[in-house]
Amino acid sequence: MTVLTLNRWNLSIGEGQPLVVIAGLNVLEDLELARDAARRLKALTTELGLPYVFKASFDKANRSSIRSYRGPGLEKGLEILRAIKSEFDVPICTDLHEIDQAEPVAEVADLVQIPAFLCRQTDLVVAAARATQKAGGLLHVKKGQFLAPWDCRNILDKIKEAVEQDMTVLCERGVSFGYNNLVVDMLGIQEMKQLGAPVTIDATHAVQLPGANPKSNGASTGGRRAGVPILAKAAVAAGADGVFLEFHHDPEKALCDGPSCLPLADAGPLLATLKAVHAAVRQ
């Protein structure tokens, strides 16, 4: 099983490594909110001895409505992420959506993320892989809601052909199950790991109800927040090497995907439980 390392941060993910925590905000709202989330999550993960990567998006390009909040954009967003990285001495994870974003994003992000809906966009994946390799980072590729776990082999092969090295972490985030619903097949985590890549669980987006938020009459995505800890614990028990979690100080006031994110106050107990589950299943 491949173990991948961010050498600058002495952070490794894969078989035999500590559980990696990729956590933060769904989308950047302002610098102070990002600072507080990074401060609290780094303190918690340091106390627990868990490797930590701060995550936040500068743009949420895939929105249900044209009126939905998307974020501060590339320039301002990377400025905020650069400030968080410097102030709190943490690696950064953020996603990109366009080919010309690859190099500027890879200069800031240590873990460059390919969104699920874009995981088969060859030009984007190749551009992100080459820019990330050049910058010394890793790729975090979310499995599309339309893909079987074993179909991720094509994603890994594509990246390997482009950069001639293993640099990809795969992320499980559920699969479409009828209309407005997602499910997670926990057996898929081992199927993906058998492809030779470390695997994470995006427990936040896996509880989404796409296009089914009753508060907006379907103009935004709903979610089942209470399911996030359930999926996270189950996935770690099934062998996930890392967890991807999004928090907010007040989820009901979050500008994006509030129904799926957890209150920041819940982070400590959940991460402690996930560490214990990870240790138990690897004895």
Positions marked active-site:
26, 60, 257
| CB neighbour list of residue 119: distance below 8 Å, 6 or more residues apart | 125, 141, 142, 143, 144, 147, 155
State the Cα torsion 224-114-137-31 to the nearest 10°: -60
CB of 59 within 8 A of CB of 74? yes
- Residue type at 204 in one-letter notation: T
Provide the β-strand partners of residue 243: 21, 201
> What one-character DSSP code corresponds to residue 118?
G
CB 58, CB 74: distance < 8 Å: yes
Q: Please list, in sequence order, all residues whose beta carbon lies within 8 angstroms of the beta carbon of residue 133, skipping any fewer than 6 positions away.
A: 163, 165, 167
**Phi, psi angles (nearest 5°) of residue 248:** -155, 150
Nearest to 236 by CA among 201, 198, 265, 267: 201
Question: At 102, which helix (H) or strand (E)?
Answer: helix 102-108
The kind and range of the H/E element at 4 are strand 4-6
